[in-house]
Amino acid sequence: MPLPKMPGKPATILSVKDYPIATGTPVVQALPEADAPGTLQAVAQPGAAAVTLSTPARAAAAPAAPQKRARSKGALLDPTVGVGPLTNVEAPVLNQKIPAAKPATAVARANTSPAKAETPLAEVDAPLAQVETPAPKAQMSSAETAAPAARAPARSTQEKSQRSGESRHKSKASHAADRAGGAKLFVLDTNVLMHDPTSLFRFEEHDIYLPMVTLEELDNHKKGMSEVARNARQVSRSLDALVAQVTDRDIDLGIPLARLGNKDAKGRLFFQTRLNPNPAPAGLPTGKADNQILGVVQALQAERTDRAAVLVSKDINMRIKARALGLPAEDYFNDHVLEDTDLLYSGINALADDFWTRHGSNMESWQENRHGTGYTLYRITGPAVASMLINQFVYFEPASNEPPLYAQVRQINGKTAVLQTLRDYTHGKNSVWGITARNREQNFALNLLMDPECDFITLLGQAGTGKTLLALAAGLAQVLETKLYNEIIVTRVTVPVGEDIGFLPGTEEEKMGPWMGAFDDNLEVLNKSDSDAGDWGRAATQDLIRSRIKIKSLNFMRGRTFVNKFLIIDEAQNLTPKQMKTLITRAGPGTKVICLGNIAQIDTPYLTEGSSGLTYVVDRFKGWSHSGHITLARGERSRLADHASEVL
């Protein structure tokens, strides 16, 4: 496009005192007729500076910047307009076209003609009027402000502090419907159903709408043995059970989601039963499934003005496209255990400095012998009990020379708790397979690992905190020394960090060998701890250890039952909640399950720190009398590894 010509004669700049002052204030009125839609006109009236708008556009008061070519498809702005502040207007005339598809703020500027540049201009002593433009999605505005109150929202009483971040990601339509107390209509993308096949029943009192293209995509992904194919088939079976023995009228009115026994699902299921005249929003190709779903949401906004229609998708780009088109879109939050990982249960509680002052008056203490070890127990009553959980570790480290307290919560009865002192694994006489704890958290972890009453343990921590070494040492001590378990079973997720190297030869254990390099390294450290055995003794010990350690693949776990086994699940952060449930339910009588992982190193696609299976079990098992959790905070691998974890 050629650049506009500059004016041949410069405008005359007058001083402020030469401008006559006009009385009156700007008056905003609508013209009865307009020459063309999207045209703004500013007309001066006698006695008042008037600004009139012919179409729903937005006029905002702002100083005029040097005006260049317009960024819209309308006419070019007049390049001869002066570049000073718009304080002097005699006959403001603006005829600028604003594209209707992009309802941005339109600034009504008063332009003077070059031919009348020497004429004194009337000064306007009031700012230009600002008129808010109603968005082209007028139906959505009504849905936001006038949501039905027929059904009160059934708020869940189990709202946790971890879900505090969920409200930050809700759309404005959802927030408006929540304030009005109306049920929303969620349009589900296919990836939500394939991510969580039970998502149909996770929206409480709200209704579900399935476009026809979603059913088509489910049919395309149902073949195969992958997790996505299994989820697609499960969703298809659920939909088939819902539509069984229903009439056409029932489908139009919505199928109750609670008819399959899901009492929490109080909404209804709607299908797309009519053809959408606009299969995709204007300007987007109609052959793509995502655009067709966006077209369905757009049509629902125009049709259902009484409620908010919200798109739910795991596809980030699709949500961005929906927001760009003015459509409300949200992520699927139900699989998120928590939004902020800083709120994750750590298993450790630091007692306040005035703990003994507030809880020592009515304290009781006694001695008990458990599993051949003597412990001191304290029964305390006070406000600190409210923040405690069973099997949580508490500690009190005074600044003075008083002895510190390291204890484990054993019982909680109302405002009374029983604390049990710990075995000091930092001392060499209490070493586990030659390993002693190097810090407070490792001491807590070894107390859990060596406790026969604790069946499920989770250890979190960054690289080098000793998770694998502690678990393996505790397993060897309880398998070969105390003979509490028959053998150690080790498994992990086979998710490569980089590109896959291809198929591996050999048996199941040989195929898993390259994935178990971390255990081989730790076994080497544990085997060298016995310096008096000699080379032959260490070789015999290594053969004995190898005979008691079995390496299994996750692919063959379903249907198995482990009895009296010490099961270690390494890299558990790469497991989904469903996979974690499959593994934990393999535990038979006398089996201890240990999950190790670092939620900051997730390699599985589509998993986040909040939706990881490891985060899921840490949150679900906290407070159970036969489980425990410790977050290891201090690295002990080497000074190089510790510094790399901090600065990289």
In a domain, 560, yes or no: yes
Same domain membership, residue 61 and residue 143: no
* Residue 521 pLDDT grade (very low, low, confident, very high; cuts 50, 70, 90): confident
What angle, rounded to 10 degrees, do the helices at 172-180 and 138-145 form? Answer: 40
Q: Do residues 565 and 485 make contact, with C-beta atoms less than 8 angstroms apart?
A: yes
Q: Which are the contacts of 359, defined by CB distance < 8 A and separation ≥ 6? A: 380, 381, 382, 384
3-class secondary structure, 242: helix
User: Which segments of 538-598 are extended strands (E)?
Assistant: 549-551, 565-570, 592-597
Q: Within this chain, do residues 32 and 116 fall inside the same structural domain, yes or no?
A: yes
On whether both 48 and 108 belong to a single domain, the answer is yes
Question: Could you say which of 277, 303, 330 is where a domain stops?
Answer: 330
Handedness of CA 54, 57, 63, 66 (dihedral sign): negative
Strands 255-256 and 268-271: antiparallel
* Whole-number Å distance between alpha carbons of 261 and 81: 71
Is residue 234 classed as helix, strand or coil in its secondary structure? helix
Determine the 3-state secondary structure of 537 from DSSP: helix
Domain termination site, one of 360, 387, 421: 421
What is the distance, to the nearest Å, from the Cα of residue 64 to the centroid of all Cα atoms in its chain? 43
CATH number at residue 626: 3.40.50.300
Which phi and psi (to 5°) does residue 61 adopt?
-75, 125
Q: Whole-number mean pLDDT of the chain?
A: 74
Q: Are residues 408 and 444 in the same domain?
A: no
Structural domain tally of the chain? 4
Instruction: Give the sign of the dihedral formed by CA 84, CA 85, CA 90, CA 91.
Output: positive
- Checking if the pLDDT of 140 tops 70, the result is no
Does any domain span residue 336?
no
Token pair belonging to 358: 């507030």
Question: Of 329, 327, 385, nearest to 355 (Cα)?
Answer: 385
Same domain, 217 and 113: no
What integer pLDDT is reported at residue 224 of this predicted model? Answer: 86
- pLDDT score of 628: 96
Lookup: tokens for 298: 């757009």
Between CA 394 and CA 207 the distance in angstroms is: 45
Q: What is the pLDDT of residue 327?
A: 92
**Would you place residue 547 in the very low, low, confident or very high pLDDT band (cuts 50, 70, 90)?**
confident
If asked whether residues 411 and 494 sit together in one domain, one would say no
CA distance 411 to 397: 22
| Domain stops at, among 421, 442, 459 | 421
**Nearest in space to 238 (alpha carbons), one of 202, 267, 197:** 197
Cα-Cα end-to-end distance for the chain: 49
Asked if the model's pLDDT at residue 523 lies above 90, the reply is no
Q: Which range marks the domain in which residue 274 is found?
A: 139-155+163-330
Percent of the chain with pLDDT over 70: 67
Tell me, yes or no, whether 83 and 183 share the same domain.
Answer: no
Res. 392 pLDDT band, cuts 50 70 90:
very high
319 in the same domain as 444 = no
Q: What is the per-residue pLDDT across 622-634, written as a single tens digit (0 to 9) for each?
A: 999 999 999 998 8
Q: pLDDT band at residue 425, thresholds of 50, 70 and 90?
A: very high
My answer on whether 496 and 370 are in the same domain is no
> Count of CB atoms within 10 A of residue 104's CB?
12
| pLDDT attached to residue 179 | 65
Higher pLDDT: 546 or 33? It is 546
Judgement on whether residues 459 and 441 belong to the same structural domain of the protein: yes
User: Which CATH number fits the domain that encloses residue 201?
Assistant: 3.40.50.1010
Backbone torsion region of residue 235, taken as left when φ is above 0, otherwise alpha when ψ lies between -120 and 50, otherwise beta: alpha
The enclosing H or E element of 190 equals helix 190-195
Assess if residue 339 is contained within a domain.
no
- Give CA–CA dist 65/74, Å, rounded: 19
Q: Quick one: tokens of 221?
A: 């992904």
Compute the average pLDDT of residues 459-469. 89
The residue behind tokens 């699902």 is 265
- The answer on 618 and 469 residing in a single domain is yes
- Higher pLDDT among residues 197 and 509, named by residue: 197
What is d(CA 185, CA 501) in angstroms, rounded to the nearest whole number? 46
Which of residues 299 and 48 earns the better pLDDT score?
A: 299
In this prediction the pTM is 0.63
Q: Is residue 151 part of a domain?
A: yes
Whether 337 maps to a domain, the answer reads no
DSSP 28-62: EEE-S--SSTTBEE---BTTB-EEEESSS--B---
Answer yes or no: is 242 within a domain: yes
332, 303, 333, 338: which is closest to 318 by C-alpha? 332
Which comes out higher in pLDDT, residue 312 or 545?
Answer: 312
Is the pLDDT confidence value at 603 over 70? yes
Residue 427 covered by a domain = no
Q: Is residue 367 part of a domain?
A: yes
Question: Containing H/E element for 370?
Answer: strand 364-370
Pull the structure tokens for residue 344. Answer: 């994750």
Q: Which of 478, 371, 389, 393 is nearest to 443 (CA)?
A: 393
More confident residue, 69 or 427: 427
pLDDT value at 93 more than 60: no
- 322 with 447, same domain: the answer is no
In whole angstroms, how far apart are CA 433 and each of 430, 441, 446, 549?
9, 18, 12, 15
* 3-class secondary structure per residue, 425-458: CCCHHHCECCECCCCHHHHHHHHHHCCCCCCEEE
Residue pair 557/489 in contact (Cβ under 8 Å)? The answer is no
Confidence bin at 137 (pLDDT 50/70/90) = very low
Largest Cα span, the chain: 111
